[in-house]
């Protein structure tokens, strides 16, 4: 199981806010570490992987927070 | 009311074709009566309606008695799907990027759906469609000729060749008139306002040999009739527009293709833009791209303020939280999305004006969120 070093709480934020937060905070984790994005915005399911493709980072899958909200995992490559 | 100075949303509705204007007026004047009546005005309306059917048939290369008029492209898809699907025991096989009308009709009828994934350009693989039809009982395959959001053309002929007798409904709502019909199909649906006909008119072409039944309340469902009372002036104007669009399609299509190539070339120079759809196997007049970190609604509003009427598939721009299924299925960025589609008389100047303002609009919107 992939473990996020830090998870951003983007609950309640409409698109594209979760992606903006992701871009701002990826450098909060070390290269090789994983940043989680907790988001209940349905667009995030598509946009987190698409952001990883555009920004050459690794999309590391999806988990579920205890409150049922999806957490999208991004491994910082650079 | 002030209309956008440059209208770049022909894929939602093309302005009425000049060839249809007089015809529409004449149709309103002379085609008001019930075409089934035996009096003079009824005969006039019947003549105009027969003529409309004949012209649509000739423009599409099909038989006159295969052409049915509906009240919209959506209604044509509904009538095609519901009229061809044999029973709720067999599935509808379709792709992940079809128009909502396909899913709605299947779900309304309680038909199970097997959906085939698409690649990053939005294309479904013919072998995967064939495999999906063999994966269980299949009553019908529904595939669009070209995608309404990203323009990618599906390999319909190849798909048709692998179906082993399962009926095929082609949704040609985005492409009818702009592309020749595919070779093999059971029924085809089209939407007049997307080729420059009036709104409120759709076309459903059903092969004579097809086992299609009229799927709505009717005394005799085996009778092939239009959907509801036919809008005679609308059908006539739609036919005139289709005839004109087919006649000019090589010239207009080539010009539009060149302008879209220009947009594609210039848009990729804007940082962090996801250019979507097949660059070559596509509708001639349409391009879609998504701008990272930009709110689609803000982008459309700002472009409108500057005189450009453009559509967006982003959730925030279409008053729903759900992002575009099409963009999602392709793995494309769903926010900050713009769909630009050219009218038949769009000019290079129109397009260049947009391309000149677009980078600034995008960077201003990004600056607002400090990115």
Q: What is the CATH number of the domain that holds B181?
A: 3.40.640.10
Model confidence at B333, in pLDDT bands (50, 70, 90)?
very high
Binary contact (B292, A49; C-beta < 8 A): no
Model confidence at B316, in pLDDT bands (50, 70, 90)?
low
Query: Is residue A1 included in any domain, yes or no?
Result: no
Of A19, A45, A49, the CB nearest to B335: A19
Q: Are residues B146 and B260 in the same domain?
A: no
CB B204 within 8 A of CB B80: yes
Q: Are residues B103 and B216 in the same domain?
A: yes
Catalytic residue selected from B20, B111, B259, B316: B316
Chosen from B271, B334, B337 to mutate, greatest number of chain A CBs within 10 A: B334
* Residue pLDDT, tens place only, B88-144: 889 999 999 999 999 999 999 999 999 999 999 999 999 999 999 999 999 999 999
Q: Are residues B282 and B364 in the same domain?
A: yes
* Residue of chain B whose Cα is closest to the Cα of A51: B333
Q: Are residues B236 and B253 in the same domain?
A: no
**Domain stops at, among B225, B244, B263:** B244
Decide if B291 is catalytic: no
Q: What ipTM describes this predicted complex?
A: 0.94
Q: Are residues B233 and B324 in the same domain?
A: no
Pairing mode, strands A34-38 and A70-75: antiparallel
Residue B109 forms contact with A (CB below 8 Å): no
CATH number of domain containing A19: 3.30.110.40
Instruction: Give percent above pLDDT 70 in chain B.
Output: 97
For B47-62, what is the mean pLDDT?
98
Query: Is residue B205 included in any domain, yes or no?
Result: yes
Would you call the peptide bond into A16 cis, given omega within 30 degrees of 0 as the criterion?
yes
Query: Is residue A33 included in any domain, yes or no?
Result: yes
Q: Which domain holds residue B268?
A: 6-13+249-368
Query: Is residue A14 included in any domain, yes or no?
Result: yes
CATH number of domain containing B320: 3.90.1150.10
Q: Which of B316, B317, B369, B308 is nearest to B342 (CA)?
A: B308
pLDDT for res B245: 98
Q: Are residues B49 and B107 in the same domain?
A: yes
Where is pLDDT greater, at B145 or B221? B145
- A vs B, Cβ pairs < 8 A, gives 61
Residue A25 forms contact with B (CB below 8 Å): no
Query: Is residue A57 included in any domain, yes or no?
Result: yes
- Segment among B155-159, B187-191, B220-224 with least mean pLDDT: B220-224
**Domain stops at, among B227, B244, B261:** B244
Q: Are residues B193 and B53 in the same domain?
A: yes
pLDDT at B229 over 90: no
Binary contact (B315, A15; C-beta < 8 A): yes
Model confidence at B4, in pLDDT bands (50, 70, 90)?
low
Q: Report d(CA A51, CA B335) in Å as an integer.
A: 11
Query: Is residue B1 included in any domain, yes or no?
Result: no
Q: Which two tokens stand for residue A31?
A: 């290269």
pLDDT at B317 over 90: no
Chain A residues with CB inside 8 Å of B327's CB?
46
**Domain stops at, among B201, B218, B244:** B244
Q: Are residues B194 and B281 in the same domain?
A: no
Residue B362 forms contact with A (CB below 8 Å): no
Cα of B333 to nearest chain A Cα, Å: 5
Query: Is residue A68 included in any domain, yes or no?
Result: yes
Q: Are residues B107 and B30 in the same domain?
A: yes
pLDDT at A75 over 60: yes
Q: Report d(CA B285, CA B344) in Å as an integer.
A: 8
Of B272, B294, B335, the CB nearest to A43: B335
Model confidence at B315, in pLDDT bands (50, 70, 90)?
low
Q: Are residues B104 and B235 in the same domain?
A: yes
Domain count, chain B: 2
Q: Which of B161, B90, B94 is nearest to B326 (CA)?
A: B94
Q: Three-state SS for B47?
A: helix
Q: Which domain holds residue A50?
A: 6-75
Q: Tell me the average pLDDT of chain B.
A: 95
Residue that has been written with the tokens 């196997």 in this structure: B281
Domain count, chain A: 1
Q: Report d(CA B308, CA B291) in Å as an integer.
A: 17
Binary contact (B334, A19; C-beta < 8 A): no
Cα of B118 to nearest chain A Cα, Å: 14
Q: Are residues B140 and B60 in the same domain?
A: yes
Q: Are residues B286 and B321 in the same domain?
A: yes
Binary contact (B371, A24; C-beta < 8 A): yes
Query: Is residue A47 included in any domain, yes or no?
Result: yes
Model confidence at A49, in pLDDT bands (50, 70, 90)?
very high
Q: Which two tokens stand for residue A27?
A: 């450098």
Model confidence at B289, in pLDDT bands (50, 70, 90)?
very high
Where is pLDDT greater, at A34 or B2? A34
Residue A50 forms contact with B (CB below 8 Å): yes
Chain A residues with CB inside 8 Å of B288's CB?
none
């Amino acid at each position: 199981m992939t473990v996020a070093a830090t998870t951003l709480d983007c609950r309640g934020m409409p698109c594209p806010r979760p992606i903006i937060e992701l871009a701002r905070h990826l450098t909060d984790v070390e290269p090789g570490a994983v940043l989680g994005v907790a988001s209940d915005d349905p667009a995030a399911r598509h946009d987190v992987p698409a952001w990883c493709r555009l920004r050459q980072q690794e999309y590391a899958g999806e988990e579920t927070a205890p409150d049922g909200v999806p957490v999208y995992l991004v491994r910082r490559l650079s | 009311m002030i209309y956008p100075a440059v209208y770049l949303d022909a894929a939602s509705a093309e302005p009425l074709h000049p060839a249809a204007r007089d015809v529409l007026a004449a149709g309103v004047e002379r085609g008001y009566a019930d075409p089934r009546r035996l009096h003079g005005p009824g005969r006039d309306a019947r003549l105009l309606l027969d003529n409309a059917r004949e012209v649509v048939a000739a423009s599409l290369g099909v038989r006159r008695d295969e052409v049915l008029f509906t009240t919209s492209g959506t209604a044509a898809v509904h009538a095609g799907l519901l009229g061809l699907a044999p029973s709720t025991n067999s599935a509808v096989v379709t792709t992940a990027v079809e128009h909502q009308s396909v899913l709605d009709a299947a779900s309304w009828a309680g038909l199970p759906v097997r959906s085939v994934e698409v690649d990053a350009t939005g294309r479904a693989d013919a072998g995967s469609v064939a495999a999906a039809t063999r994966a269980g009982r299949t009553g019908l395959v529904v595939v669009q000729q070209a995608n309404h959001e990203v323009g990618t053309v599906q390999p319909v002929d190849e798909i048709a060749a692998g179906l082993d007798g399962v009926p095929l409904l082609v949704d040609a709502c985005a492409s009818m008139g702009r592309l020749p019909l595919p070779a093999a199909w059971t029924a085809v649906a089209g939407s007049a306002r997307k080729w420059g006909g009036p709104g409120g008119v759709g076309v459903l072409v059903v092969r004579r040999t097809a086992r299609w039944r009229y799927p709505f309340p009717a005394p005799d469902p085996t009778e092939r009739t239009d959907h509801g009372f036919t809008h005679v002036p609308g059908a006539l104007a739609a036919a005139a527009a289709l005839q004109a669009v087919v006649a000019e399609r090589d010239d207009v299509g080539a010009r539009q293709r060149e302008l879209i190539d220009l947009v594609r070339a210039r848009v990729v120079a804007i940082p962090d833009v996801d250019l979507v759809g097949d660059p070559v196997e596509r509708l001639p007049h349409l391009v879609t791209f998504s701008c990272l970190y930009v709110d689609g609604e803000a982008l459309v509003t700002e472009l409108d303020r500057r005189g450009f009427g453009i559509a967006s598939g982003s959730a925030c721009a279409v008053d729903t939280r759900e992002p575009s299924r099409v963009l999602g299925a392709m793995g494309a960025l769903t926010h900050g999305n713009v769909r630009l589609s050219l009218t038949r008389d769009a000019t290079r100047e129109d397009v260049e004006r947009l391309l000149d303002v677009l980078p600034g609009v995008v960077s201003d919107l990004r600056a607002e969120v400090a990115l």
